Chain A
Amino acid sequence: MNIQPHTEVRWLRSGDFSAEKHRDEEQRLSGIMCTRLPRTACLLRLIALCILLSQTSAYFGLTGREPLVFLPAPLSNESPSGKAHLKQCEQLTLTRRQKRLCRREPGLAETLRESVRLSLLECRYQFRNERWNCSLDGRGSLLKRGFKETAFLLAVSSAALTHALAKACSSGRMERCTCDDSSDLEHREAWQWGICGDNLKYSTKFLKNFLGQKRVSKDLRAQIDSHNINVGVRAVKSGLKTTCKCHGVSGSCAVRTCWKQLSPFHDTGRLLKFRYDSAVRVLSVTNAATGEAELAGPRRHSHSPRPMDLVYLEDSPSFCRPSRYSPGTAGRPCAKDTSCQNLCCGRGYNTALRHTTLSCHCQVRWCCHVECQTCLREEEVYTCKKH
């Protein structure tokens, strides 16, 4: 039996500790507790501890520690009565509760994968001109720390999941979206009477349940992560646009219906990138009144960070050289006047002349018809030097 959660590849990582810390903890615990106990009892105790810890905070999406499946399999065309989704649920690494949710809801597995795809594409797009380009190579090590990048990964993952859930609901891929709480008959009545909430409300609630965020641990890392996850959800919510339609007598506004509309995920990504740029470094402060640990801003008397701010614990490495966090910026293409200076960390760049063929004078027609001529172009390509 594997009792070391940090070696497991899981969708949801046991939350409160970074893996190294966790290992220390275990050694310490086993050192303390197992000296006089039989080995089996010690094991059981540790398992219990691990289960307890794994419930408190959650990592998912881009922050999952499994190898990412970027491009999910083509949309399944099986009927929901088929057991295809069960297999998909097994493929994903989830906690027991999440697996249960996944089995109950046939569309969830697909939505989870869609959210990974969405967050990955957006993360890469937003960081295409940064030293850290959202490469997934150092992701594991990055997630153990409390960098700004970690905060972004968490936020973009939760935002993508919220977005994907709401979208899956409106396309009918998920079956229980609103009016979900009650039994079947009540559900039908609630729908007919008209008191079901909207999809977004549902997806936020579902996300909370899915991540098991109801109890937030007092641990600083867990608090920060939970905060950053909420920033992602809020970013989706703040991008909602209210749209109205008048349909009274002769189309007058005597009767008007309004609804909230998701903004494109690009906009959410841009907002999160902006939050990343203005992220706040926090410390843990014990609240004198309640005795509980709280997040606090960098200055001694400043308030706890605003709900919209991304927070981080430690300053990021430079990401210039290959490290366990990133493969470094060597070989990255850059733009001569704008990004090369920053991207190459002062090492300079190579200039190469390249002939490229590219399609030009295209005649594009919806949807899938493109007629292009091929043009030969000579362009200078700049890539960062290794040393």
Chain B
Amino acid sequence: MSCEHANNHKDGGFGVSTKLNVLEHVMVPDHQIMSEDEVKQLYSLYSISSEQLPKIYHDDPSVKTIGAKVGDVIRIIRTSHTAGRAESYRLVIKRPKK
């Protein structure tokens, strides 16, 4: 089972799969990969480098579903109790061992 399962992961959710698409779950906010220009704008807006962004692991279910790679920046749009709509940005990093 473990071997087949590993193969499923590689295709990033494409093809016919019975697996749940986490993005469709009500509790999962919208995840988008940001273009290079958008990322550059984001860095200049907050005058930060990629190091100062919050992080997200590459094997996070929603990261895998949208197919983001290590080094990408993801925009997460949540519904917020206070603001109605809140944007947040995360840098995809590799999950360290253990």
Does chain A bind chain B? Answer: no
